[in-house]
């Protein structure tokens, strides 16, 4: 059973999301909060698997709440996966939220099926890269940022195959697509992904995408899927 929590300052949004999630046999909503501060406090006691976090809220916004929840050690035991919710398809807060360890984000006007799929993907330990939005946002921000010299040095610790897998991850490819592209087994791809995240000290695929752009492994505007979900 996936334990979900909703953090949003709009009661109608919380009611709507709860109704969608509670209609499923494999998802239960364990709590709600009307702002980031209350969300952080309740998450620590309720220990949900996935937190659906609004970006803009009073008292404490979603970005600050995500940082408080995940802390400096994003691999901390019991740390929830954070799925950011926003009404804006290009929100300045989102890129920083991904850097803080959020596992992805979704527009509030997404279809119910997309919301359910997002919760399941994130709960499974993967990261959700919403089609067109996440990749475009990352590209826009990374294009204006200096290349990370420490990140470039870290790339030297990867094997040639791992660098290629990381490049394809950055382009938004799923494990299945990477395996097909490199003519390797999907399980082998999963092993490469796990080793890449471990070597680079990254939480998940979203941070790997950010890393790939920041280090120049993939240039903004490069070819590849406009956005994809890891599967």
- Whether the predicted pLDDT of 228 surpasses 50: no
Q: What angle do CA 148, 225, 137 make, to 5 degrees?
A: 50
Whether residue 14 is found in the same domain as residue 93: yes
Whether residue 31 is found in the same domain as residue 111: yes
More confident residue, 207 or 62: 62
Whether residue 23 is found in the same domain as residue 89: yes
Whether residue 82 is found in the same domain as residue 114: yes
pLDDT tens for residues 49-95? 999 999 889 999 998 999 999 876 554 557 899 999 887 665 566 66
Whether residue 156 is found in the same domain as residue 59: no
d(CA 9, CA 90): 20
Q: 30 near 4, Cβ under 8 Å?
A: yes
d(CA 209, CA 138): 8
Whether residue 18 is found in the same domain as residue 124: yes
Q: What is the pLDDT averaged over residues 130-137?
A: 56
CATH of the domain at 114: 3.40.50.2300
Return the pLDDT at 35.
97
Is 59 among the domain residues? Answer: yes
Whether residue 25 is found in the same domain as residue 115: yes
Structure-token pair, residue 171: 């382009």
- The residue segments making up the domain with residue 166 are 147-214
What band does 230 get if pLDDT is binned at 50, 70 and 90?
very low
Return the pLDDT at 3.
97
Residue 168 CA: distances (Å) to CA of 136, 212, 213, 221, 230: 16, 9, 12, 14, 11
d(CA 163, CA 171): 12
Please state the domain count of the chain.
2
Q: 140 near 210, Cβ under 8 Å?
A: no
pTM over 0.85: no
Is 51 among the domain residues? Answer: yes
Whether residue 97 is found in the same domain as residue 160: no
Residue 222 CA: distances (Å) to CA of 136, 173, 208, 226: 11, 13, 16, 10
CA 31 to chain centre: 21
Tell which of 96, 128, 160 closes a domain. Answer: 128
């Amino acid at each position: 059973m996936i334990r979900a929590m909703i953090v949003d300052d709009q009661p109608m949004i919380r009611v709507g999301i709860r109704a969608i999630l509670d209609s499923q046999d494999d998802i239960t909503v364990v709590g709600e909060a009307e702002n980031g501060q209350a969300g952080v406090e309740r998450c620590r006691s309720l220990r949900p698997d996935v937190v659906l976090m609004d970006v803009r809220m009073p008292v404490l916004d979603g970005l600050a709440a995500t940082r408080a929840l995940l802390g400096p050690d994003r691999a901390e035991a019991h740390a929830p996966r954070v799925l950011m919710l926003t009404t804006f398809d290009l929100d300045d807060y989102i890129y920083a939220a991904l850097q803080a360890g959020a596992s992805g984000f979704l527009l509030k006007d997404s279809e119910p099926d997309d919301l359910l799929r997002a919760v399941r993907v994130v709960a499974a330990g993967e990261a959700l890269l919403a089609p067109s939005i996440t990749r475009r946002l990352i590209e826009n921000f990374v294009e204006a940022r200096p290349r990370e010299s420490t990140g470039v040095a870290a790339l030297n610790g990867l094997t040639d195959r791992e660098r290629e897998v990381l490049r394809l991850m950055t382009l938004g490819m799923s494990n299945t697509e990477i395996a097909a592209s490199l003519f390797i087994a999907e399980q082998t791809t999963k092993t490469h992904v796990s080793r890449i995240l471990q070597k680079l000290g990254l939480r998940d695929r979203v941070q790997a995408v950010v890393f790939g752009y920041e280090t120049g492994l993939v240039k903004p505007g490069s070819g590849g899927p406009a956005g994809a979900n890891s599967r």
